[in-house]
Structure 1
Amino acid sequence: MTQHLPTGVPGAPVPRTVPPSPVQPGTGRDPYRLYRTLREEYPLAYDPLLRAWLLSRYADVAAALTDARFGHGHRPGDPPCATGHQDVDETELREVAERTAYVLARRIAGRPQVDLVAEFCHWLPAGTVAAAVGVPYRDMMRLVRGRAASALAGRCTAQLAVREKALATFLAHALDDPDRAAALRDAPDDDVARAWTEALRRDPPVQIAMRRTSSEVPVGGGVLPAGAPVALLIGSAGRDPERFREPDAFDHRRDDAGQLTYGTGPCPGVLLAALEARYALRALFDAMPKLRPADGFRPEFTGLITRAPRSLLVRPGG
């Protein structure tokens, strides 16, 4: 495969075709078709719109996310979290997430129609953090708007927007199919966790993560130069058929699971996101046993760098 270098670099081969850009107009509707082209034809390409190299295959993206040669970025659950966080009481976090989810679910249970993105997903991440750190909820929202949440709650736990988008995506998939919703309604925690991981894989809330190389790095399709800005296409990696069976399908029982939104190390932010997803599902079904999508509604996913359903209209009473 020819290594596609930016135009104007001395000695760079001239590509026969121009690689598509993940941020070009119109991509937001369905970036996954473009990702497929990049994986198959341009495993290493330079994107003048992003002013960065593109990596789109799972093996390259997964390696880059933990390779010390790719600096200038941090993902919750990566090695720095092991020493960067204070010890947390997992039982307390579980109680906070459960209590907050049930309060929010009961607030909307009596309405004829609800947008779960605006009325539930937007509030749960901030509410759990507020309760966990002992700050009144109204003050936490003010702090979030003032960009002071990370100072109060920690760098990873304060990533409210990412958790909100991840939660909305998870609920969209959980409720999209009646048989799937019925299976998850009373499923054990391990099965719910598997569905959560599957949502992060298939439609990650963070589609593109930016990094910069500190030295030359061999990757699929060529070698990245030192000091190069790199766009890691997490959304593309999650649909790589070299890594996942039937990658475009959502399979809440998938046995080849894997996701790149979060690292695998201990991190209160990662733990809290998973707890929020678990108790969101439990609380919604408990408060609204007949919960289902509104008539004729299909969630519309939007966004290029981050991505999630714009809205999630449901009928609490069935």
Structure 2
Amino acid sequence: MTTVEPPAAAKAPEPATRPDALSLLGAAARRDPYAFYRTLRAEHPLLWDARLEAWLVSRYADVAPALAGSALAGPRRGPCCGPGTVRCAEEYTAPESAFALLREVCARTAYVLARRLAGRQEADLVEEFCRWLPTGTIAAATGLSYAAVTGRSGRAPARSRAGAPAAADLGRGRGGTGVALLAARCADQAVLTGRALASLLANLLAHPEQLELVRAVPALTGQAWEESLRRNPPVHVVLRRATRDLAISGGTVPAGAAVALLVGAANRDPDRFAEPDRFDLHRTTAGGLALGPVDCPVARVAELQAECAVHALLTAMPGLRAADAFDPAESGLLTRAPHRLLVRPS
């Protein structure tokens, strides 16, 4: 990538010793993004990344309003529900009956997947559970095959403007088109939901005392989900472009410049969250940036799937624990999650 220097007038005031090697594409960020984020928040809250050719914004007080404001433009048709989404791309209200039926489908799918793994000495929850549950639920609810939903068949289903299977393909959905349309709207979010599920399970397995709390009080699963989305969001970097000169964090981003909003850094900002690196399902500070507005049906379905996933796994595997000496390392740049999650089911 060609190195591009921003206009001199647009440079943010920073220490004279600014290390030009700091880059989201550099070795330090790949090795430990959270340490990299700490350096940015403390020393370079607004930094021109010459390799990425974008401004890096890392503090919660800057990222949150930038996501919600109008000074940064994103793609015309992005995911229905993502960091900074103020409302769904298209207004849509799902009937409560659709959520109830989708929960039933998801619970059954989750339990079938969990039971398949219950007798194993060791299993990988990422490969054999988290990647299957969101898409498997959509496939079961819409009446489409798994291959058709994922586009791995010879004929991909017709797509609407929102990216979901067209209504003509949804007639076989159990309970009519209500639940099928709701499930179809979640199709584009299925991969991210699977990654978020992997992080949730990794966090609970790494904190057995909190896993036992969830086992004893299933209603706490929602709190664990929100905390996991804050601590380990599936989307770490949101790319936008400035529509006008933007004053931010003591500097100015010029109109037309690319901006990388570091959600993964903002969600661990100690100025917003006490002990931000700690996983605590009892955390009371709200405002984690993750899957968009809480009233979005896609975000609601993602939480529903998390609840079904945890319940099914704990029911099918009463002795579930992490495999000995296993480290669920995250991977990814714009999106991050554990690529493996080895467990002892029994």
Q: TM-score, normalised by structure 2?
A: 0.83
1:170 positional shift: 0.3
1:250 positional shift: 0.8
Aligned pairs for 1:1-318 (under 5 A) are: 7=5, 9-11=7-9, 16=16, 17-18=18-19, 20-73=22-75, 74=78, 76=81, 78-81=85-88, 83-85=90-92, 87-88=94-95, 89-143=98-152, 150-152=163-165, 154=184, 156-189=186-219, 191-317=220-346
CA offset digits 1:64-96 (Å, max 9, x no partner): 111122111446062341743352522122212
More divergent stretch after superposition (53-62 vs 154-163): 154-163
More divergent stretch after superposition (11-20 vs 194-203): 11-20
| Moved segments of 4+, more than 6 Å | none
Q: Is the 8 A contact 1:170 1:199 kept in 2?
A: yes
More divergent stretch after superposition (256-265 vs 82-91): 82-91
* CA distance in structure 1 between the aligned counterparts of 2:184 and 2:63, rounded to whole angstroms: 26
Q: Is the 8 A contact 2:47 2:55 kept in 1?
A: yes
Q: Secondary structure at the match of 1:53?
A: strand
Q: Is the 8 A contact 2:118 2:317 kept in 1?
A: yes
Q: Is the 8 A contact 1:54 1:230 kept in 2?
A: yes
Q: Is the 8 A contact 2:218 2:311 kept in 1?
A: no
* CA distance in structure 2 between the aligned counterparts of 1:85 and 1:158, rounded to whole angstroms: 16
1:168 positional shift: 0.2
* CA distance in structure 2 between the aligned counterparts of 1:288 and 1:30, rounded to whole angstroms: 33
1:3 aligned partner: none
CA offset digits 1:207-259 (Å, max 9, x no partner): 10101111122221222221121100000001101100001111111111332
Q: 1:98 to 1:240 in 2, by over 3 A?
A: same
Report 1 or 2 for greater relative contact order, CA contacts < 8 Å, sequence distance ≥ 6. 1
CA offset digits 1:175-232 (Å, max 9, x no partner): 112212111112242x211111111111111110101111122221222221121100
1:101 positional shift: 0.9
1:138 positional shift: 3.9
Matched AA of 1:258: G
* CA distance in structure 2 between the aligned counterparts of 1:206 and 1:126, rounded to whole angstroms: 19
* CA distance in structure 1 between the aligned counterparts of 2:127 and 2:68, rounded to whole angstroms: 34
Q: Secondary structure at the match of 2:100?
A: helix
Q: 1:148 to 1:184 in 2, by over 3 A?
A: farther
Q: Secondary structure at the match of 2:27?
A: coil
Matched AA of 1:238: N
* CA distance in structure 2 between the aligned counterparts of 1:128 and 1:279, rounded to whole angstroms: 11
Q: Secondary structure at the match of 1:84?
A: coil
1:147 positional shift: 9.3
Q: How many corresponding residue pairs?
A: 311
Q: 1:132 to 1:64 in 2, by over 3 A?
A: farther
Quote the sequence identity (%).
Answer: 46
